[in-house]
Structure 1
């Protein structure tokens, strides 16, 4: 069986420029896809149905002696002989820090996928940002931007990702190891093909001050199923390494077992911090993962991690030709 991957060469210098230009060309289309996905999953403002500071009207109630007269709604009070106060719904604006893996292994797509892992990660991250801002929250790109609540957040983030700082960090396989503020949250989207201990250490560093988070492992369907047979050559997208197999099918069970162990290790690292973990395949619609994320973010945070599939191999994605 033959599979062809779309890969980006690794290495400093010219590769960084090419990758940045390629991303800049694709981002307008990815931004449109993100907005479309967000619109289909829109979950509204994170109202808590309790009185407080917010934008949404909740209820009128009688004025109580000792309150500030500035709170009186004179139009409603004019309708009868009572004085009323307009209460607003309490909306807890939170900050969600986003990180999308743009390293070379993410630029992989088999013939079975709808998009490269990188494009899917960017659509999920940008769509989540759009959803959160519409819901009254603040969002930031980890290591690239400050928290914002602007309606044009997708365009702002696209510009940051394709700018000089975005290009400089594009090859990073793991998010920055900076503790996030307490009571904030993180959304980390990547293939998590790095060493499991390194991934666990990075998650622990981000959660050190008490932040909660959600980790999404984006994978190509061939990485989940290893559908190869016969003579196959695997090429590492992160370097020059190649592996030729005469009977690729004989390694399927070994590969899947190693995959499961790796993902279980990452899921356990998430559980230890109260974070969630899930797997999303690129042959499935982006809205499936986005809907789950919207539910998690609307509910206010983590709890036990859900694995959602088998697991992740410990090397770079492979381009199989045979």
Structure 2
């Protein structure tokens, strides 16, 4: 599927010393994606059960329904074949097919590979399931889906599979995607642990908001990152830099750690609120269907509003 990955969108400028680890990470991701794609489709199917979609009358090519002819409408709108079946006149309505752009991004940086004994999956795998599941749902309603800096937005029934393929071409995963291609009237979904310095997250949100796009943030955390159940001599390692820190009594750090995490989370929530965005916290020991349903609901409402105010 490399043809679907625009060469102008591929990250470049990687230090040659990084290639062994990059290749190893790429192989690990490529090996995991088929299973994650299957899981994403299962989760998407569970969310879509009972969901009636956003079908409505309007310009398009797909037949939707017949309805009675209303006096004053142009005669050319009458479907004479259907009307010939009885004594009433009918109009053939088509489904409104005004697609909009949704940019999706999952943080695949090293910190997302974390998984504790309290969770069945890593943060990375859960983020990918949410991204691919959302792509599956959006593809069903004909939206244009893209990956910032990686894949141009397209409307495709097989969008989840195409995106999974495009993800294997990411040479250097980053937590926050490029914003240069994001435009007004689009939606941006960012799924990650959002543990970058708050100034960096704030700048990214401002850049996206300045384009006129709307955002949806999903903070994915392992439950152990909330509870901090460590005691005694414990060594902590930063997966991004490799820095190691050892403490003799880890329990003495618990309160301050939790206060800092709560302050960080509150700051992101406030940034999202000011921008008019949604913010969801998801723990990897909870079902993936929960944040996926919330995202789908938020996106459906926003895209309906766009359709009402800006057709096409």
Query: Could you say which residue in structure 2 is the equivalent of 1:309?
Result: none
Shift, 1:220, TM fit:
0.6
Query: Could you say which residue in structure 2 is the equivalent of 1:61?
Result: 68
Shift, 1:81, TM fit:
3.8
Query: Could you say which residue in structure 1 is the equivalent of 2:117?
Result: 111
Query: Could you say which residue in structure 2 is the equivalent of 1:99?
Result: 105
The answer to whether 1:80 aligns with 2:86 is: yes
Query: Could you say which residue in structure 2 is the equivalent of 1:3?
Result: none
Query: Could you say which residue in structure 1 is the equivalent of 2:172?
Result: 169
Shift, 1:64, TM fit:
5.2
The answer to whether 1:148 aligns with 2:150 is: no
Unaligned segments of structure 1, at least 5 residues = 1-10, 303-322
CA distance in 1, matches of 2:66, 2:89: 14
Match of 2:232 among 226, 230, 233: 230
CA distance in 1, matches of 2:249, 2:103: 44
CA distance in 1, matches of 2:214, 2:79: 39
How do 1:1-322 residues align onto structure 2 when only pairs under 5 Å count?
Answer: 12-42=18-48, 43-47=51-55, 49=56, 51-53=58-60, 55=62, 57-62=64-69, 67=74, 69=76, 71-163=77-169, 166=170, 168-170=171-173, 172-178=174-180, 180-300=182-302
TM-score, scaled relative to structure 2? 0.86
CA distance in 2, matches of 1:179, 1:195: 24
- The aligned length equals 287
User: For each residue in 1:137-179, what CA deviation from the matched residue of structure 2 results, as whole angstroms up to 9, or x when unmatched?
Assistant: 221112111222222112111110002xx1x232x12111326
Partner SS state of residue 93, structure 1: coil
CA distance in 1, matches of 2:225, 2:61: 45
Shift, 1:135, TM fit:
2.0
TM-score, scaled relative to structure 1? 0.83
Residues 276/125 of structure 1: CA separation in 2 closer, same or farther (3 Å cut): same
User: For each residue in 1:28-70, what CA deviation from the matched residue of structure 2 results, as whole angstroms up to 9, or x when unmatched?
Assistant: 11111111111111134323x454446362441316567262x
CA distance in 2, matches of 1:73, 1:146: 39
Residues 235/210 of structure 1: CA separation in 2 closer, same or farther (3 Å cut): same
CA distance in 2, matches of 1:54, 1:224: 50
CA distance in 1, matches of 2:253, 2:61: 57
The question of whether the paired residues in 2 share the 8 Å contact of 1:51 and 1:58 is answered with no
Shift, 1:301, TM fit:
6.3
Unaligned segments of structure 2, at least 5 residues = 1-16, 305-312
Shift, 1:89, TM fit:
4.3
CA distance in 2, matches of 1:301, 1:275: 14
Query: Could you say which residue in structure 1 is the equivalent of 2:309?
Result: none
Residues 249/301 of structure 1: CA separation in 2 closer, same or farther (3 Å cut): farther
Q: Give the CA RMSD over aligned residues.
A: 2.2
Normalized per residue, the structure richer in helix is 2
